Structure formats: structure tokens, C-alpha cells
Amino acid sequence: VAAFDGGAITSDAGAPLLGGTDRAIGLIDRFAGCFTDHRRADLIEHEVRTLVGQRVFGIALGYEDLIDHDELRHDPMMAVLAGKLAAKRKGCAPVAGKSTLNRLEHAPAGGNGRYHKIGHDGAAFESLFVDLFVDAHGRPPKRITLDLDATDDPLHGQQEGRFFHGYYGCYCYLPLYVFCGRHLLAAKLRPSNIDAAAGSVEEVERIVERIRGRWPKVKILLRADSGFAREALMAWCEANRVDYVFGLQRNTRLVAEIEAELAEAQRLSAESGQPARRFRDFLYATRNSWSRPRRVIAKAEHLPKGANPRFIVTSLAAAEIDGRRLYERVYCARGEMENRIKEQQLDLFADRTSAASLRANQLRLWFSSFAYVLIAALRRIGLAGTRLADATCGTIRLKLLKIGALVRISVRRIKIAMASGCPYQAAFREAHARLSAAAA
């Protein structure tokens, strides 16, 4: 016999780790500071900090839809995370329901209408991503690599900014992401009727300026696929002391440059029966679009299925790094960024952009992005050196956050009695101790 009548029981007993992470990096308070509340203070039940924290914590715990919060507002762990065990008003839950959160997400620009009185500052959100990245480092690094990529966000309604994208074969948005390792620095929602690199100069300029404001001597390398090998972006990098390595789409002129290397690779592959590759370093310029010749590294590779030539363009000098190492060790490592985007979309619902307006969908993307920042900080601070140090956001949620527990609230304390058979008790204790030390 089963029924939902167990009382104060939660399936999210690991949520205090998220609260500890928030205290360590100050995410929710700083995020909430980017909103402007025009509501009457004497009539408010749920402060902006409660609403913002509830949304971010909810996504991190696996609740992507606002309707989930009509029941979650009664969950004791959401109350613990909000630091508010009871509402001021009789009959209210400690945290907000779907309608209040819905008004937060759908506030128009200004946020001072009759029903939408909480506005937000998108530029402040964008700056906060960079500030959290810089704050995560105890000392300035000598060099950092910024990865850029655009991805598809399929749409199934009549959302504002909806266009059909021929490459992806669907109606979608085309968000731009910027990562530095596992740190998220930008998540910009864009319509898909644009070039993949559209707006990248402005995003990179903003991020680099803010980073150099804190780390004036840091060397910055920009890394991206061939969709970003555009004159405007490369020229900006060259004028602002930012190095780059971009994929370069092959054409007949580029392939003709490495005919000898391709023939040699084909011969070696035929002799060994294995893939073979050769590299060549040369200067190259397009006929019209580039303002100057640039260093290009070619990979002349022959596979059992045939030739596979690939090219990259870079501002790094040959004396600084040889072509093979640059391609294999530096450029190919950009594939790791794909895993970060997968975490965003598969684990943290960054593609849940079903609101009618582009502004509301951008805010949803930011909520998802800050949920990623929160779990990434938990992984970096609390799980370093454990068997979950390299776990995805989804795995961390499953192993450490989704734990069943009985919650007992007394006058002196809140006791969260977790399942005795939890197999990740040691990792939980270690993470909790590290987060507590970081927040002290």
C-alpha cells in the first residue's frame, strides 16, 4: 500500500550542499542584487532573494518547470534553503508558488507594470558570470583559454525570434556560450537567422575588459571552431593583445597547398594499414575577406575511408608553439566544451525556452546557467580529489542531492535524517566540511 502521506519527508536531502556552496561563493545574494523590486515592502511575502534562490536551487535539484513549485513550496528542504521555515502570512507556504515565479520570469523591460513589478538588469547578470569566475581563483593565472561555441536550442512553439536553421534542420534559437575550462562566462540567447559568430566581438570585448580589470597581466587565448574564423573577430584579437586559434573551413586553395603532404599520408597509410597524418605550417590569406595573411596549420590525414584534411588559423607564432602540438594539444581540446554545453542542456534544462518572448527565455537561460555555476562550484570546492571530482551535474545531483530523508523540526534545530544505506556518505561528509570551511 502506498500513499503520499508520510509527512515531512524529502527526496532532496542533499540540498544543504547547495546552500553551503551558495554561502561559499555568495551567488544568490549577488544574483538577486541584479533585480529591481518595485513592490510595496509592507505587502511582500516572498523577497526577491527567496524567489531567485528558489528558482536556481529548483533547477539544480532537477525541477525544470514552474508548475513543480506549487508542491515544492511545501517541501521542507526548499524552506531550509530559503532560510524561512514559515510564512509571515497565515495560509502561505514558506516559499513561492508557480504564479509568483511566473510573474518574475515574464516581467517586461523596466519591471514596473501592474502585475510585473520585478525588473532585472541583463548587463549586471553578464558581469556577474565573469566576477564569479575571477573570484574562484586564489591568484591570477598566467594564461587562460576562452572557448566560444554556438549550439542549437530547438523550439516547438511560436516563440519570439524563432527561425528555421538549415544546418540543424529545425526551428531553434542559436545561443552563444563562452567557457573557460569548466567556468561559464556567458550564455547569450540569439535568434538563429544569424551567423554563428554574430555578436562574438562584443561578448569577447566585454569579458576580456572585465577580466583584465582584475588581472591586467593575464595572457588570453581565444579558441573556437571554423564558424568563428571571421575577419572582425581576428582583427579585434590582434589589436587587443588576445591570441586566438580557430578552425578554418577547407577550400580548394587550402587543399592544393598540402597536396604533397596528403600524398605522403596516403602512402604511409597504405603501407601500415593505419591512419597517417602529416602537418604543414604556412601563411595564407583569403582573396577578399581577410585584411592580412595569417598563420595556418594544416593536418594532412589519410584514413581508411579516404583523405581527411583539416585546417586551423592562429595568431600564435611558430617560435612559441609548433603546428602539430598546437593542433593536437591545444585546438582539439576545445571538444571538452561540448560536454559543458551538454550539462547545460541535458542536466540543467537550458533548452527549456518555451516562453513567448525572447526576454523571458533569456532569463530562463540565465537561471539555468547560474544553476550550472552553483553545481560547478560544488564540484570544484567540495568534491576535489573525491571519486565525484569529474562527475557531471546530473551525476552529482543523482548521487549527492537526491537523497531521501525524514525532516524533524523542533524548537532548537532541524534534523534531516538521511537514508542510512546511502553509498555516498563519505563524499557527502567531505564536501560538507570543505564547503563549511570555504564559507567561514
**Which pLDDT band, with edges at 50, 70 and 90, does 88 fall under?**
confident
Q: How confident is the model at residue 424 (pLDDT cuts 50, 70, 90)?
A: very high
Its pTM stands at: 0.94
- Express each pLDDT in 362-380 by its tens digit: 999 999 999 999 999 999 9
pLDDT of residue 178: 98
Question: Strand order of the sheet with strand 405-409?
Answer: 9-10, 405-409, 414-418
Q: If we measure between CA atoms, which residue out of 427, 356, 368, 360 comes closest to residue 393?
A: 368
d(CA 230, CA 81): 46
pLDDT tens across 199-213, in order?
999 999 999 999 999
Are 191 and 161 a contacting pair, CB within 8 Å? yes
Cα pseudo-dihedral 413, 419, 423, 428, rounded to 10 = -10
By percentage, how much of the chain surpasses pLDDT 70? 99
Q: What are the angstrom distances between the C-alpha of 83 and each of 25, 47, 94, 120?
A: 17, 12, 9, 23
Q: What confidence category does residue 156 fall into, taking pLDDT thresholds of 50, 70 and 90?
A: very high
pLDDT over 90 (residue 114) = no
